[in-house]
Chains A and B, each alone.
Chain A
C-alpha cells in the first residue's frame, strides 16, 4: 500500500501536464476569454450595461 501511495504525486503531475496540454492545444482557454468582460465586471462587483 505504501509503495502505491509514494507515487500518488507523480500520478497527479502526469494528469496535470496532460490535461493542460490537451486544454491548450484545443484552445480550452477561450471559454474564459470569450466572457472576459463579464467576468471582470463580476469580480469588480460592477453591473453590466450597454457598454459591456
Chain B
C-alpha cells in the first residue's frame, strides 16, 4: 500500500531521509517520488481535488449544513500564497532541517497539520483498531483541535482548506497549464452572464483564472454555461491561446458598455 501512499507523505519522507539514506537509495527514491508525482499531476492534476479527494467531498458535504455562510476573504497575497508557505516550511524545510535522535526528520505536515489524515486515517483507524487508543498523545489532541477549526471554517466557506491551505493541491495546480486536461473559454460564444463565476467553488475570476493553480476542475462552470462557451480540452501539447486571456468577465462587461 505504501507504494502509492499520499504523495505529500512521500515528499516529506524524502526530505526527512535526505541526510540518512545512502546516495544510491536516495537517487532511486528521488526518481520514484518525482516520477509518481509528475505522472499524477500531468495525467489528472487537480481533477484529483475536484473528483477523487475524499476530504474535498467531505468539505462539500459540510458546506450543505444550513449554517452561517460567508466567503472568508483573507488578504489577497495571503490567500494566494499561504499554501506556498505550508509547502515550503512544513513539507520541505522542517522535515529536512529538524532531525530526530534516530537521524530521520519528522513528516511535519502529516504529523502536526493535515486534517485529512486526522479524520480519514486517525479517527477511522481508532474505530477499526481500538487498541491504537494507547498511542493517543498531545499531538492527536492538537490535530483534533485543528481539524475542528477547519471543519467549522468549511461549514462557513466552501472548500476553505482546498482554497487556502492544501499544499498537495498546489503541487497538482502548478501543472494545470501543462496537464492532459485544460479548460478553454470561447470569447465568441460567451454571453457574459457571469454564471460560471457565481458557481465556482474556488471563487475564480473567469476566464482569467480558468487554468490557474486554484482551479480544481470540478467542471461546474462548464455544465452551467448556457452558451457552452467553456469546454474541456485534452492535449499533450501546451496551448498558449488557452491561457492568454488575462481578463475577467466583469472587465469584459465594463469594456462593452
Which residues of A come within 8 Å of B, CB atoms?
2, 5-10, 12-13, 15-24, 26-33, 35-36, 39-49, 51-52
Contacts and interface: CB of A to CB of B under 8 A. Distances in A.
A16 to B, nearest CB: 4
B: interface residue count bin: 35 or more
B29 interface: yes
Contact of A16 (B29, B42, B118, B121): B42
Interface string B109-146: 01110100110011001100000101111011011100
Contacts of A5: 238, 240
Contacts of B61: none
B221 interface: no
A9 B240 CA distance: 12
Contacts of B144: 45
A16 B25 CA distance: 18
A32 B10 contact: yes
B35 A45 contact: no
B74 interface: no
B35 A22 contact: yes
Interface string B15-56: 001000100110111111111101100100000000000000
Given A33-B2, A46-B132, A7 B238 contact: yes
A17 B41 CA distance: 12
Given A28-B30, A39-B13, 5 more contacts: A6-B239, A22-B32, A28-B29, A28-B31, A42-B107
Contact of B118 (A15, A27, A44): A44
A42 B111 contact: yes
